[in-house]
Amino acid sequence: MNLVTVSGPPSSGKTSVILKTIQAVQQRGLKVGVVKFDCLHTDDDVLYAKAGVPVKKGLSGALCPDHFFVSNIEEVVQWGVKQDLDLLVTESAGLCNRCSPYIKEVQAVCVIDNLSGINTPKKIGPMLKSADVVVITKGDIVSQAEREVFASRVSSVNPRAIVMHINGLTGQGAFELSTLLHDGEIDIDTVKGKELRFSMPSALCSYCLGEKRIGDDYQMGNVRKMEMED
Q: Measured from the CB atom, is 50 or 123 closer to other proteins?
A: 123
For residue 175, state whether it binds other proteins (rule: CB under 8 A): yes
Kindly determine how many residues on this chain lie close enough to bind other proteins according to the rule CB under 8 A: 50
Rounded to the nearest whole angstrom, what is the least distance from the CB of residue 165 to other proteins in the complex?
A: 8
Query: Per CB under 8 A, which of residues 124..153 are in contact with other proteins?
Result: 125-126, 129-130, 139-149, 151-153
Establish how many alpha carbons lie within 13 A of residue 90's alpha carbon, considering only the half-sphere containing its beta carbon.
31
Question: Which helix H or strand E contains 92, and what residues bound it?
Answer: strand 87-93
Q: Name which position in 159, 184, 193, 215 contacts other proteins (CB under 8 A).
A: 159
How many angstroms separate the Cα of 138 from the Cα of each of 62, 143, 151, 172? 31, 11, 12, 11
Q: Are 33 and 89 in contact (CB under 8 A)?
A: yes
Within its chain, how far is the Cα of 88 from the centroid? 13
Residue span 189-208 as binding mask against other proteins, x where in contact by CB under 8 A, dash where not: ---------xx-xx------
Q: Going by C-beta distance under 8 Å and a sequence separation of 6 or more, which residues neighbour residue 168?
A: 13, 16, 17, 20, 137, 138
Q: Measured from the CB atom, is 59 or 205 closer to other proteins?
A: 205
Query: Residue 174, SS3?
Result: helix
Residue span 81-120 as binding mask against other proteins, x where in contact by CB under 8 A, dash where not: -----------------x---------------xx-xx--
Q: Name which position in 7, 16, 92, 167 contacts other proteins (CB under 8 A).
A: 167
Burial of 135 per CB tally in 10 Å (0-12, 13-18, 19+): buried
Query: Per CB under 8 A, which of residues 2..21 are in contact with other proteins?
Result: none
Cα 151 to Cα 167: distance, rounded to the nearest angstrom? 15
Q: Name which position in 65, 101, 121, 168 contacts other proteins (CB under 8 A).
A: 121
Binding region for other proteins (CB under 8 A): 24, 27, 98, 114-115, 117-118, 121-122, 125-126, 129-130, 139-149, 151-160, 162-163, 165, 167, 170-173, 175-176, 179, 198-199, 201-202, 224
